[in-house]
Amino acid sequence: MDKASTVIIGGGILGCSIAYHLAKRGVEDVLLLERLDLATAASSQAAGLMFQISSKPAVDILSRRTFSVLSELENITGEALDFKAVGTLRIGESLDSKANLEQLYERAIREGIAAKQVDAAWRSQHLPWLRVQDDALTTVHFSEEGYIDPYRLTHAYARSARSFGAQIKLGANVSGIKATNGVVVGVETDQGDIACEKVVVAAGSWSNFLTLSLGCALPMIPTRSHFWIAAPEDHFSDEQPMTVHADAGAYTRPEVGGVLLGVQEQHSRTFDYKDLPNDITSFAVTEEGSEWDALIEAEQRVSGFFPKLEGARFESYMAGLSAYTPDGHFLLGETQAVNGAFVAAGCCGSGVMASGGIGDALAELIIDSKSSYDLSAFDLNRFGQVDPSSEEFQLLCAQARAKKAK
């Protein structure tokens, strides 16, 4: 029987980051198992937005590690990751959104994050297509934020992990985790068993397939995230900042001369994890012909700030699955039921930006049984017993996605 010290299940951005952070700390015999290829699911579909500050302070601490890991990976691999530091313009128009944005701005200043309140002249210079309804609105520019290609970042973690000795095996499907007397002893795969002392479930939307047999139902539901890409126009440019418009429930970022637009739906589409095929690339997250429905539903609120929406030439559509929890926070930690079984899942549309911190925190937890990051917001058991297939629970997670504040 093959052996490893730690087996990581899943070759998405989280599995690869955990492998890198463990191997970098000197853990020997780290083995990552991926049944398809690296970054074939959510990690190749993300818009790649990376924020230093958001409505979730516990997530921000993890995200800030990702900003610092980029140069580390570039040095190790010798390849640029091409992080586009265009900054973010956050827009608050309603009283609530303005108050939230002012609080975010004050927190940014306290925490040393680059942030500046900007006026109408700044907005029309940097975002000529943007219209704001209210002259008294609040707009804050966070100049060091930006976006990255999540596929390249996943591969950079993987290459760096390998350079510190981690093994990555592709085409290996894990069918179960083996435990004896409440302690992990190995994993079962389609290519035979592998003995190990620690296992990390980083299997994205499929994670419940692996943890349920350990008596651990993860409180998360595969939920649709999607965006549209409009073709280049004179008023767009790749230097323009990303925008987050809280009242419209929408965001934009440049995309090769055009613009990428993401919107939140009133009723997010969810799936029972049991219905997911192994290979998501052939799965209809959105039924053919209905890829414009959510954009049409959002037209009124989006065209309020993006008046050129109607004439925009939308040429691409991307839909994928992100696992959402009812409170929009991740699921990170060791299972109560089985010692040595760890989870990094439930990434609620933020797994790219938090990947560095999640990898770092999980490596600390696995090696030292504690982490320097405060992971209490991400406790696996914070919702008590749940049935991740029940309709009621799916509705709770869909609402978390619909209300997601960035």
Q: Which stretch binds ligand FAD (CB under 6 A): 13-21, 78-86, 134-142, 191-199?
A: 13-21
Taking CB under 6 A as the criterion, the residue among 4, 11, 62, 76 binding ligand FAD is 11
What single-letter DSSP state applies at residue 259? Answer: E
**In angstroms, rounded to a whole number, what is the distance separating the alpha carbons of residues 132 and 140?**
13
Task: List, as one string, the DSSP characters of 108-142.
Answer: HHHTT---EE--HHHHHHH-TT---S-TT-EEEEE
Q: Does 32 bind ligand FAD (CB under 6 A)?
A: no
Q: Which stretch binds ligand FAD (CB under 6 A): 97-105, 196-204, 213-221, 377-385?
A: 196-204
Q: Does 91 bind ligand FAD (CB under 6 A)?
A: no
Angle at 219 between CA 104 and CA 272, to 5 degrees: 115
Closest CA to 259 of 309, 205, 187: 309
Q: Which is nearer to ligand FAD, 137 or 204 (CB)?
A: 204
Q: Write out the binding residues for ligand FAD, residues 282-321 only, by CB under 6 A.
A: 318, 320-321
Closest CA to 356 of 67, 33, 41: 67
Q: Which stretch binds ligand FAD (CB under 6 A): 113-121, 131-139, 220-228, 368-376?
A: 220-228
Taking CB under 6 A as the criterion, the residue among 92, 186, 326, 351 binding ligand FAD is 351
Over the window 221 to 240, marking each residue x when it contacts ligand FAD by CB under 6 A and - when it does not, the resulting string is ----xxx-------------
User: 219 phi and psi, to 5 degrees?
Assistant: -80, 75
Q: Which stretch binds ligand FAD (CB under 6 A): 43-51, 110-118, 133-141, 268-276?
A: 43-51
Name residue, tokens 């579909």: 45
Q: Does 380 bind ligand FAD (CB under 6 A)?
A: no
Residue 311 beta carbon to ligand FAD: minimum distance, rounded to whole angstroms: 24
Q: Are 219 and 331 contacting, i.e. CB atoms less than 8 angstroms apart?
A: yes
Q: Does 358 bind ligand FAD (CB under 6 A)?
A: no
Name residue, tokens 């192994």: 278
| CA 246, chain centre distance (Å) | 19
Tokens of residue 171, six digits: 């085409």
Q: Which is nearer to ligand FAD, 288 or 310 (CB)?
A: 288
Q: Are 150 and 39 contacting, i.e. CB atoms less than 8 angstroms apart?
A: yes
Sequence-ordered list of residues with C-beta below 8 angstroms from that of 195, at least 6 positions apart, any chain: 1, 2, 3, 4, 185, 186
Taking CB under 6 A as the criterion, the residue among 248, 312, 347, 380 binding ligand FAD is 347
**In angstroms, rounded to a whole number, what is the distance separating the alpha carbons of residues 349 and 59?**
12
Taking CB under 6 A as the criterion, the residue among 49, 132, 302, 331 binding ligand FAD is 49
Taking CB under 6 A as the criterion, the residue among 42, 62, 104, 229 binding ligand FAD is 42
Q: Write out the binding residues for ligand FAD, residues 145-174 only, by CB under 6 A.
A: 150, 173-174
Report which secondary-structure segment, H or E, holds 146: strand 146-147
Taking CB under 6 A as the criterion, the residue among 73, 76, 153, 203 binding ligand FAD is 203
**In angstroms, rounded to a whole number, what is the distance separating the alpha carbons of residues 189 and 200?**
15
Q: Which is nearer to ligand FAD, 18 or 76 (CB)?
A: 18
